[in-house]
A and B are shown apart, each in its own frame.
Chain A
Amino acid sequence: MSMRQTPLVEIRNLKKYYPITKGLLKRTVNHVKAVDGLDFTIYKGETLGLVGESGCGKSTTGRTILQLLQPTEGEVIYEGKNLVGMKPRELRKLRKNMQMVFQDPYASLDPRLTVGEIIAEPMEIHRLYAGKEKDKRVDELLEVVGLSSYHAKRHPHEFSGGQRQRIGIARALALEPQLIVADEPVSALDVSIQSQVINLLQDLQGQFGLTYLFIAHDLSVVKHISDRIGVMYLGRMVELADKHDLYDTPLHPYTQALLSAVPVPDPLAKRERIVLQGDVPSPANPPQGCTFHPRCQACMEICKTQRPKWTEVDGRYVACHLYE
């Protein structure tokens, strides 16, 4: 438990705006506020889950933290160093510590390379191992993710989705990172394969003391794997709490609706469902005040004009006027 209290990454007021350009001169006429001010901390050894509907900015968050996207504003502090604005060379060294696992098992592996080459590439870039040693390491990594060394000579297309996801994980592990950002690593997988990968991720965490930022839209999966969960809506985090607290007593009306909408694989369960009206607004012109207010059942006057603050309530965080 003590480990969990050591911050690994601190995210402060993180923003990522995509410009919307127009015309010949590419004038910026507006911004897609994909991520609009996030504050949270990822502790060493924990799994932080991130959920939310499509387009709410989950992937953007993950990518900006890893500096794959240049944040518009804010800080990402990794072990005391702010990654934002760091010199490329320094950043490249730090990249060893943070890796990513992707959603699409088909698009995330270069189809031209063999599996061995794919796994060896990060080691080559950082000149970690060479020759025989490298091959040995590739074999080791393959074993770790449940594949065999004879798979190293094959090409990705010769593998099934679940196996590819394992290759992706092996590649992420090659640099012995501390943090792995997993962006919907199981969404594309079949139910029976999904559990294999989830189990693998959990095993590796135990084995190597990894920290995960686990992004998904499937609440059941997130709940299963995470320690804490953050709920995002339209570029902002609306609630962040220990998973049990979140599921047992969701505070934010959006969290409540989201949880109630998940179909339960039990025909006998009878539940009260909160059906939200309308669609998620466009992040290009989000509603004033609380971005959730047009769909919120508990909407108050203040919600329409004032953005709720990110406040701590009993060791958990929520952004809602109900709790200010």
Chain B
Amino acid sequence: MSQIDLALQQDESTSEHAYASRSQWKMMVSRFKKNKRAMVGFWMVVFCVTVALLAPWVAPYDPIEQNMQIMLEGPSLSHPFGTDEFGRDILSRIIHGTQISLMTGIVGVLIAVILGVALGTISGYFGGLADTLIMRIMDIFMAFPSFLLALAIVSVLGPGMINVMIAIGIFSVPTFARLSRSSVISIKDKEYIEAVKAMGGSNLHIIIKHVIPNSIAPIIVLSSMRIATAIITAAGLSFLGMGAQPPTPEWGAMLSTGREYLRVAPHVSTMPGLAIMFLVLGFNMLGDGLRDALDPKMKL
């Protein structure tokens, strides 16, 4: 009730041009800020990014220096997350691993966004043969269960994080292409596009100035969620030995090697798993919030 009273007491100044006072962007930001989950996700991601940037300074130990005297020790004051099979400090490794996971997720998705949006836009905007061709090829990619596709690509390219990024990029391309195609299709027949055509704007002008900016919101949302998927997938590939090379402190690889010590030292695989979950959860929550703010009708 009190809020309703407040509304009734609004003064003249706000009512003058109430709808003219806030820009769309500000509205989105405020909608995003109001979303508690989104903010928690945002800060989780910010936290991880900070940790990644400051890794050399915040990590208490060298992530690859071995000390066989203290191998497989459980969490303690000096090693809060315990040590691994070479006596390396797991906390320090996780801190350094943040860089790798973030990079993989972001670069992988960036590749997918660039290729996917380009293909999807061409396909959606021009239609016809290009559309049929592109979509058929995407269908072929989609016919692979997604993880298998990434696996196949990495086994061709050989292990290593760069290749994992490429694999993740490629395997996400169809998703982005389809999404951007469908949003381009919904936009290209909008009257404002027609207005630009009527004033003599070229296709390139229309695509760059109107179509892409207006179809990018769902792409941003998908990207942030896809980064989450990418991080998990990369970890999965490393888990199968297709990713990072030792002694790189990649989380999936750490988890995979820790598996051999699951009984004697469960912390070795538990900790990196929690780290993956933390970062992925951050991106998912962020994406969720972005969706609510940018494109509430999107189904993801």
| Chain A residues close to B by CB (< 8 Å) | 26, 63, 66, 68, 91-93, 95-96, 98-100, 102-104, 107-112, 121-122, 125-126, 154-155, 157-160, 168, 171, 174-175
Contacts and interface: CB of A to CB of B under 8 A. Distances in A.
Contact of B192 (A66, A107, A125, A126): A107
A168 B24 contact: no
B199 A121 contact: yes
In the complex, the 7 A-B pairs of residues with the closest C-beta atoms, listed nearest first: A108-B191, A122-B199, A95-B200, A92-B200, A102-B191, A158-B20, A110-B192
Nearest to B22: A158
A112 B213 contact: yes
B214 interface: yes
Contact of A110 (B17, B19, B21, B210): B210
B177 to A, nearest CB: 20
A99 B196 contact: no
Contacts of B300: none
B60 interface: no
Given A111-B24, A125-B201, 5 more contacts: A91-B200, A102-B194, A108-B191, A125-B200, A158-B17
Contacts of A126: 199-200
Contacts of B36: none
Nearest to A155: B24
Residue from B132, B194, B199 with most neighbouring chain A CB atoms (10 Å): B199
B214 A110 contact: yes
Contacts of A26: 132
Interface residues of B, number: 24
Contact of B19 (A63, A95, A100, A160): A160
Contacts of B198: 66, 68, 95, 98-100
Contacts of A122: 199-200
B156 interface: no
29 contacts: A66-B198, A68-B194, A92-B200, A95-B198, A98-B198, A99-B199, A100-B194, A100-B195, A103-B191, A104-B191, A107-B190, A107-B191, A108-B195, A110-B214, A121-B201, A121-B209, A122-B199, A122-B200, A125-B196, A125-B199, A126-B199, A158-B19, A158-B20, A158-B23, A159-B19, A159-B20, A171-B195, A171-B199, A175-B199
A81 to B, nearest CB: 16
A69 to B, nearest CB: 10
A121 B214 contact: no
Nearest to B194: A68
Contacts of A104: 191
Contacts of A158: 17, 19-23
A155 B205 CA distance: 20
Contact of A155 (B23, B209, B210): B23
Interface string B7-50: 00000000001011111100000000000000000000000000
A74 B209 CA distance: 33
Contacts of B214: 110-112
Residue from B17, B20, B132, B201 with most neighbouring chain A CB atoms (10 Å): B20
Nearest to B211: A110
Contacts of B201: 121, 125
Contacts of A121: 196, 199, 201, 209
A320 to B, nearest CB: 34
Residue from A110, A111, A121, A174 with most neighbouring chain B CB atoms (10 Å): A110
Contacts of B199: 95-96, 99, 121-122, 125-126, 171, 174-175
A108 B199 CA distance: 13
Contacts of B190: 107-108
Given A107-B191, A108-B192, A154 B210 contact: no
A91 B194 CA distance: 15
Contacts of B23: 154-155, 158
A99 B196 CA distance: 10
Nearest to A118: B192
Nearest to A151: B20
A157 B197 contact: no
